[in-house]
Amino acid sequence: MSDVPGAGGLGGGGITDPKSDPQYIQFKALPADSGKLNRWSSEVTRGHEFPGAQAMLYAAGVPDEDMMKNAPQVGISTVWWEGNPCNTHLLEFGKIVKKSVEKQKMLAWQYNAVGVSDAITMGGEGMRYSLQSRDLIADSIETVTCAQRHDANISIPGCDKNMPGVVMAAARHNRPFIMIYGGTIRKGYSQLLEREINVSTCYEAAGAFAYGKLQAKTNPGAPGRTPSDVMSDLEQHACPGAGACGGMYTANTMATAIEAMGLTLPGSSSYPALSPEKARECERAGEVIKTTMAKDIRPRDLLTKEAFENALVITMILGGSTNGVLHFLAMANTAEVGLTIDDVQRVSDKTPFLADLQPSGKYMMEDLYKVGGTPSVLKMLIAAGRINGDIMTVTGKTLAENVADWPSLPPDQKIIRPLSDPIKASGHIRILRGNFAPEGAVAKITGKEGLSFEGKAKVFNEEQELNEALSRGEIPPGDKLVLVVRYEGPKGGPGMPEQLRASAAIMGAGLKNIALVTDGRYSGASHGFIVGHVTPEAARGGPIALVRDGDTILIDAVTNRIDITNVDDAELERRRSEWVAPPPRVRRGVLAKYARLVGDASHGAVTDQWDD
């Protein structure tokens, strides 16, 4: 086995010829030594070939020559920063992991990757930075791991883009790796609404507020109980502490999927952020990463087609975020696994939707944790033949072995329906094509709003236009409308911003006559009749750029079609001949670089597309 980044492993996804690996840089490869845990770091710590490097390492904390020459070096990358509850606690988790690694007589180097809060940036210009932060995280962890010759990596992500970012980095450096999810937040509670709440409640309440439908649960006319006071109450109590947004939103979607892929310890995705179990998971990390290193289990060994199938299955079962589609495609691209949007539809067709979890349902991840969490769900699905339990995991055991001793779901629990009695017989995520989206679009349709929708188009050239119209109460509750938000794709946005502010406002206002369609994307907290990821996007001249107010759009989640039905091909071509691409919104900085490099949503919106 060659010791270059990306090479080898158990064989499931390893590269036998190092020069065929996209991560291969023309430096001297190390001698193969499957029993050597410091196979990468020894390049600079053996002998006296790199005395300056060793001097710097002594200054950084290597205690003696024996540790310098023989101890493996493990990077601990936290996606930590103080301004977001999803991430604010991750530095402390990193310190616990550092101690656990040092307990195994290995060197532990803690560092950080920056993130973006989707909830804080939602609906504003800051949201354009969200998706590109996935690449920023992957780039930074790959950079430190490969530049510093770390022998393994333990990544601790919290918010949405963090999880795919750290996995993409792992696929690039392909060194022993574990992900520890930062965990879910506790539920909030509103005294004025007299019910449990979460961050999504705030966005839906904004729609009710704009349309005059928000009031306190009791004594609505009493002092201090105005709609404005209800909003203040929600804002102050929706997020009671550290942890990622608590429904089956994007963070929990990605965490559960990555656990089903075998890249975390069992239970990682469902332990609440501030639970004793989460701290114990961090304490186990050193022992487990040493096993992973000793057995030479590499990320590309685990990032197989079968693992991605598991990820898709559990996402459909739990009613996960449409963002999962974007991230699975990106992760697969980075690992050079041939996953397509057609695979997403194939799995959706055969997988029932079982979970009564928010945003479309009642319960939160905290509730699922109390009845056994993700391992209990996996145990049920493995027994039913829905999840492949034979895949290898970071523990050195199979997925089935990891959950074998976990308790089964209690028979009286109400969160996960029986396979024989699903909420919907097939998955809620649908891949649509048609003359509106020839290269695909992603719909999130649970069936609660029906399976088809036809209405007149009302077009907005950016999300802010729609947000302002909703804030002013200008979207009427009568005629059936398809609100089209365009020029918000990966290139045109740039950054493919999420449109939770609009989708939640529509739900909160009770506008059941509305479907929302965009070349941007949605938060995992979004629900309703929504279609995103329209490809080609408007900035690339896709048909979404040609649609006009009053055109009739038909969305059909049974035939998986999305079409402009009252405009023929000749008219579309005439409109195309008149279309002029708008100038880029951003010309300098990270978003301009991103817009120049990013691919389309149907291939994961990646900046380093792998071509087979």
Residue of 216, 207, 193, 231 whose CA lies nearest to 509: 207
How far apart are the C-alpha atoms of 6 and 608, rounded to whole Å?
16
Helix axis angle for 199-210 and 463-471, nearest 10°, is 60
User: Per the structure block, which two tokens stand in for 317?
Assistant: 């079962």
Buried-state track 6-29, b at ≥16 Cβ within 10 A, e below 16: bbbbeebbbbeebeebebbeeeee
How far apart are the C-alpha atoms of 435 and 573, rounded to whole Å?
12
Number of Cβ atoms within 10 Å of the Cβ of 92:
15
The catalytic position among 270, 523, 526, 602 is 523
Buried-state track 494-503, b at ≥16 Cβ within 10 A, e below 16: bbbbbbbbbb
How far apart are the C-alpha atoms of 459 and 485, rounded to whole Å?
6
Residue of 580, 568, 578, 488 whose CA lies nearest to 535: 488
Asked whether the beta carbons of 70 and 46 are under 8 A apart, the reply is no
Asked whether the beta carbons of 137 and 507 are under 8 A apart, the reply is no
Residue of 207, 199, 205, 201 whose CA lies nearest to 239: 199
How far apart are the C-alpha atoms of 427 and 312, rounded to whole Å?
10
Asked whether the beta carbons of 319 and 326 are under 8 A apart, the reply is no
Based on the residue annotation, tell me whether 523 is a catalytic residue of this protein.
Answer: yes
* Runs of H (alpha helix) within 112-241: 118-121, 130-147, 162-173, 199-210, 227-237
Q: How many angstroms separate the Cα of 448 from the Cα of each of 173, 325, 527?
A: 43, 21, 10
Report the amino acid identity of residue 483: L
Instruction: Give me the sign of the Cα torsion angle 9, 13, 17, 23.
Output: negative
Asked whether the beta carbons of 524 and 248 are under 8 A apart, the reply is yes
* DSSP code for 535: S
Please classify residue 475 by burial: count the beta carbons closer than 10 Å to its beta carbon, then call 0-12 exposed, 13-18 middle and 19+ buried: buried
How far apart are the C-alpha atoms of 527 and 396, rounded to whole Å?
38
Could you report how far apart the first and last alpha carbons of the chain are, in Å? 23
Asked whether the beta carbons of 394 and 262 are under 8 A apart, the reply is yes
Asked whether the beta carbons of 553 and 480 are under 8 A apart, the reply is no
How far apart are the C-alpha atoms of 182 and 163, rounded to whole Å?
10
Active site residues: 523
